Amino acid sequence: MVSVEITPYLDINLDSEMWVCSTCNGDLIECSSNYKIGCSVAERDPSEIHHSEIDTDYKFSPDSNWCKIIEFYCPHCGAMIENEYLPLGHPITHDIDIDVDQLRKIVSEDPGDLRIKS
Amino acid sequence: MLDYGAIQISMREWIRTEPATDHEIEQASKIQPGMYEVYSNKLDVALDEARTVFVRTGVSAFLRAGDLVVGLHNAKGDLVCASCGTYIHAAIAQLPIKYIIDLYIKGDSNVKVKPGDIFYTNEALVGGLHNPDQIAMMPIFFEGELIAWSSAAVHQQETGAIEPGGMPQTATSRHDEGMRLTPIKIAENYEIRDDLMDMMVNFISRAPQMQEIDVRARCTATDKLRQRVQELAQEIGPDCVHGLFRKMIDAAESGARARISSWTDGVYRSVAFVDTTGNDETLLKVALAVHKKGDSIHLDFTGTSPECEGSYNTYGHGVAAFLATYLYPYVFHDLPVSTGTLTPFTFEVPDGSLLNAGHEKAVCNCVYLGRSVISLCFDAFTRLLYSTDPSRAVAAPSSHSGGGSFKGINNIGWPISESFSFTLNTDGQGARHDKDGMNAHGFFYSPWGKTNNLEDFEEHGIFLGLTRRHFNDAHGFGKYRGGVGTQNMNVVISGPVEVTSRGKGSRIPHDNGVFGGYASTSLPGISIIGSDALDLLENEVDFPVSVRELVVDRSISGDYKFERINRSNRTLETGDIWITLSSGGGGFGDPLERDPNSVLSDLNNDLISNWTARNVYHVHIKNGKLDLNKTKELRSNELQSRLHRGTNYNDFSNNWSKKSPPIPVSTF
């Protein structure tokens, strides 16, 4: 098995071509897809994270009518892989779209600074 | 006649390095080992000297803080190297020089470029970002040949716009923004022209002395560098100077391409949202896709909202300046500040979008839109960089803080227009891959700048500072937290004074965290009208110096106002309190992984609240003591809660896509 560390919480397994949770080694989804599709997803009210002592129209937390925090967890262990602050209903961002063929080529020829897990 | 459309196209093309001539290539090849290091370093020292002269001869807060740049350009205008200050002008100071070359050297004009000339501009269309940016440019001749240019740029607080302070929140077109000078020849034969100085001072009559002193400071800096370059040409000959410049630009480009080559190919995306046009609330989107392939990077801003009716727009060349602001301090910090480092980058910026607005649009608050672009760069590039170079992976710094300006009469009777520089220069840095972001690290547009001392601010005799301290709970939480911003509370001691504040994000923040770290929070604009603070001080009655405590405690009486963080111009009277807040940087990593001892330390240092320790970090602290066993249990429970709380992506999307914000996202 050859896995490459892409983020602190995500590896790409080049054998299975899967996104893998680096906390528990659980598979998420094919690495050609947005890893978020393989996550467990939750909508959080900003006030659950950002405390405000006042409840005026403008306060010390984002406006929950305008945006929510979308959290992406590993469905196996619950590690939070990523989150996004989005206006209600806005599409989820496909933030990491690796050229896997090129990655495989580099790993086989000269991995350089890539961190390989065998 | 000015052809605005052609100018805008030229500006985007002129970001790139001009092709090398055969003569330059030949002379570069003759640079001997050791010569490059000695003479490129000599130029860096000359630039630092000119920057020091600049800071010491000017007077306004931005200038004194060092939020400026001095640049050295080759004869074609390309930036060879610079001393910063702010990196934002480093990428674009060459644009007005190329404009001058195009019109007054290559073109058929009765304006000629001669030894001893200094040109001057603050027209954003030809190279600044917005008209507060005033730039002096001096051609450098040696034995009759134009061999180089020097430039000196710094933001001027006053522009003669419809509101004081140079960045009116109510501006809706260029006609609301005050003085906008296409390049004029302000000095001839080494002397500044009185008539043009008087013209500028007349435009900037809210702060005439500041304008005149700072114009002279810019010109002085360019002339100091001119002297040093001429001395170098005398020492090594002008041909060698051409070769040295070429080699420096090429070294910057090859260094940038080598670094980019080591990164993982792919597409990395981010989005940010802007909740104000300046005057109104809105929901604007800035989208970025970073396409990295080989040794090149293409930045595609397709999906960005159309230009808005307010002043949170920018011209197309601004995008390169915003990128440079991210790249130079974080990714290319060991490469020369030169046009060569930007050559591997190409840009796709939709016409008519927020990032490529028409020439009639107001752009005076473009830097707040630019903060969104910079946040996107941190966000997308950190995802690009982490797999090969985590040491350069950093979450976004604070980018929606509420700096601002004030206009009044100072203690020696001068009308002044000045900045709340402390707030601007004490934003929190984004968290890094192995440590927290730096608290109050500075103004991310100007990592080399410094905030003014309180005494400098109070010396004007208009405000008394009540609070300048870290602002708790406003940063992004994470395994490593964002650097903490500050709270700045001032009472008017000699009204009336006109004030305004700037920023965005009171509804929706976007100083994103990365890899599970949270964003910094939204902030309100707070003022206390008719306060009794001066009476309390006179009678030595204590009151909280924490804004969060004060708005609950209300031991200072008065009318507490909570508005958007960007507040248009209004008049304050003696006793009124004006509060400005800077938020913190984004967090890095899952907050459940933060060392509980670091959480306790943050709590003890008043950087977070008990509420955050308990509800975000799930750390159990009782009577000031950490309970690690209980913390382990709380964190295990939270992991289980996440699994119960989360649903699969498709179910989530079906439900989520039916929701909408009160104002739809602006699209084409």
Query: From CA B56, how far away is CA B130, in angstroms rounded?
Result: 24
What residues of chain B score a pLDDT lower than 70?
400, 402
- Chain B neighbors of A40, CB-CB under 8 A: 642-643, 646-648
- Chain B neighbors of A103, CB-CB under 8 A: 264-265
For residues B81 and B185, the answer to whether their CB atoms sit within 8 Å is: no
Residue B624, phi-psi category: left (phi > 0), alpha (psi -120 to 50), beta (remainder): left
What secondary structure letter does DSSP report for A35? G
Q: What three-state secondary structure class fits B637?
A: helix
ipTM of the complex, rounded to two decimals: 0.98
A interface mutation test: which of B273, B649, B651 has the most A CBs within 10 A? B649
Q: How many CA atoms lie within 13 A of B83 on its CB side?
A: 24
Query: From CA B301, how far away is CA B359, in angstroms rounded?
Result: 19
Q: Nearest Cβ partner of B562 from A38, A48, A57?
A: A57
Residue of A42, A37, A40 lying closest to A24 (CA atoms): A40
Interchain CB distance below 8 Å, B283 and A92 = no
Q: How close A49 comes to chain B (CA, Å)?
A: 6
B383 CB near a chain A CB, below 8 Å? yes
Q: How close B307 comes to chain A (CA, Å)?
A: 19
Residue B242 structure tokens: 């051409």
Query: From CA A59, how far away is CA B564, in angstroms rounded?
Result: 9
Residue A117 structure tokens: 């897990």
Q: Residue B1 has what pLDDT?
A: 75
Interchain CB distance below 8 Å, B524 and A59 = yes
Residue of B299, B1, B9, B204 lying closest to B126 (CA atoms): B9
B402 CB near a chain A CB, below 8 Å? no
Query: From CA B598, how far away is CA B247, in angstroms rounded?
Result: 47
Interchain CB distance below 8 Å, B516 and A38 = no
Interchain CB distance below 8 Å, A60 and B474 = yes
Residue B127 structure tokens: 């190279």
A110 CB near a chain B CB, below 8 Å? no
| Per-residue model confidence as pLDDT tens for chain A (118 residues) | 799 999 999 999 999 999 999 999 999 999 999 999 999 999 999 999 999 999 999 999 999 999 999 999 999 999 999 999 999 999 999 999 999 999 999 999 999 999 998 7
Measured CA distances, B649 to A53, A85, B536, B656, B657 (Å): 34, 16, 57, 10, 12
Which amino acid is located at B647 in the chain?
T
Q: What three-state secondary structure class fits B200?
A: helix
B interface mutation test: which of A33, A85, A113 has the most B CBs within 10 A? A85
- Cis upstream peptide for B496 (omega within 30°): yes
B476 CB near a chain A CB, below 8 Å? no
Q: Which helix (H) or strand (E) holds A71?
A: strand A67-73
Interchain CB distance below 8 Å, B268 and A97 = yes
Which amino acid is located at B159 in the chain?
T
The total of other beta-carbon atoms located within 10 Å of residue B222's CB is 28
Residue B427 structure tokens: 């934003």
Residue B342, φ and ψ in degrees, nearest 5: -90, -10
A43 CB near a chain B CB, below 8 Å? yes
Q: Which of residues 46-105 of A touch B (CB under 8 A)?
A: 46, 48-51, 53-54, 56-63, 65-67, 69-71, 73, 75, 77-99, 102-103
Residues 6 or more apart in contact with residue B33 via CB below 8 angstroms: none
- Chain A neighbors of B656, CB-CB under 8 A: 43, 70, 88-89
Query: From CA B557, how far away is CA B548, in angstroms rounded?
Result: 15
Query: From CA B61, how far away is CA B422, in angstroms rounded?
Result: 10
Q: How close B433 comes to chain A (CA, Å)?
A: 9
Q: Which helix (H) or strand (E) holds A10?
A: strand A10-13
B474 CB near a chain A CB, below 8 Å? yes
Query: From CA B365, how far away is CA B368, in angstroms rounded?
Result: 6
Q: Nearest Cβ partner of A80 from B380, B387, B590?
A: B590
For residues B274 and B312, the answer to whether their CB atoms sit within 8 Å is: yes
What secondary structure letter does DSSP report for B443? B
DSSP code per residue over B26-93: HHHHTPPTTHHHHHHHHHHHHHHHHHHHHHHH--SHHHHHT-EEEEEEETT--EEEEEES-STTTTTT
Interchain CB distance below 8 Å, A78 and B383 = no
Q: Nearest Cβ partner of A40 from B293, B643, B658?
A: B643
Query: From CA B81, how far away is CA B245, in angstroms rounded?
Result: 9
B264 CB near a chain A CB, below 8 Å? yes
Q: Nearest Cβ partner of B389 from A37, A91, A113?
A: A113
What secondary structure letter does DSSP report for B228? H
Q: Nearest Cβ partner of B649 from A37, A46, A83?
A: A37
Q: Which residue has the tokens 């909740």?
A: B275
pLDDT tens-digit profile of B616-630? 999 999 999 999 999
Interchain CB distance below 8 Å, B522 and A59 = yes
What secondary structure letter does DSSP report for B414? -
Helical spans, DSSP H, in B328-461: 339-342, 366-385, 421-424, 454-458
Domain count, chain A: 1
B interface mutation test: which of A41, A61, A100 has the most B CBs within 10 A? A41
Which amino acid is located at B612 in the chain?
T
Q: Which of residues 88-127 of B touch A (CB under 8 A)?
A: none
Interchain CB distance below 8 Å, A99 and B266 = yes
Helical spans, DSSP H, in chain A: 100-109
Query: From CA A20, how far away is CA A35, in angstroms rounded?
Result: 9
For residues B555 and B266, the answer to whether their CB atoms sit within 8 Å is: no
Interchain CB distance below 8 Å, A49 and B518 = yes
Q: Residue B98 has what pLDDT?
A: 96
The most distant pair of C-alpha atoms in chain B lies apart, rounded to whole Å, by 81
Torsion angle in degrees (nearest 10) through CA of B598, B600, B602, B606: -170
- Cis upstream peptide for B513 (omega within 30°): no
For A10, the closest chain B residue by CA position comes to B515
Beta-strand (E) ranges in B493-599?
A: 497-501, 525-529, 559-563, 567-572, 577-581
Sheet with strand A40-44: strands edge to edge: A80-87, A67-73, A40-44, B647-648
- Chain A neighbors of B275, CB-CB under 8 A: 66
Q: Nearest Cβ partner of B552 from A43, A53, A88?
A: A53
Interchain CB distance below 8 Å, A50 and B522 = yes
- Chain A neighbors of B267, CB-CB under 8 A: 97
The total of other beta-carbon atoms located within 10 Å of residue B146's CB is 18
Q: Residue B444 has what pLDDT?
A: 82
Interchain CB distance below 8 Å, A37 and B522 = no
Q: How close B575 comes to chain A (CA, Å)?
A: 23
Query: From CA B617, how far away is CA B587, in angstroms rounded?
Result: 12
DSSP code per residue over B7-40: HHHHHHHHTSPPPPPHHHHHHHHTPPTTHHHHHH
Per domain, the residue ranges of chain B are 24-254, 262-392, 394-594, 595-656
Helix/strand/coil (H/E/C) assignment for every residue in B239-277: HHHHHHHHHHHHHHHHHHHHHHHCCCCEEEEEEEEEEEC
Q: How close A65 comes to chain B (CA, Å)?
A: 6
Query: From CA A74, how far away is CA B243, in angstroms rounded?
Result: 56
Which amino acid is located at B312 in the chain?
Y
Interchain CB distance below 8 Å, B265 and A102 = yes
Query: From CA A50, how far away is CA B591, in angstroms rounded?
Result: 13
Interchain CB distance below 8 Å, A115 and B387 = yes
Query: From CA B660, how far away is CA B668, in angstroms rounded?
Result: 18
Q: Nearest Cβ partner of A8 from B551, B565, B589?
A: B589
Q: Residue B392 has what pLDDT?
A: 94
Query: From CA B84, how far away is CA B337, in angstroms rounded?
Result: 9
A39: containing domain: 3-117
B302 CB near a chain A CB, below 8 Å? no
Expressed in percent and rounded to 5, the helix, strand and coil fractions of chain A are 15, 35, 50
Interchain CB distance below 8 Å, B386 and A7 = yes
Residues 6 or more apart in contact with residue B289 via CB below 8 angstroms: B267, B268, B269, B299, B300, B302, B380
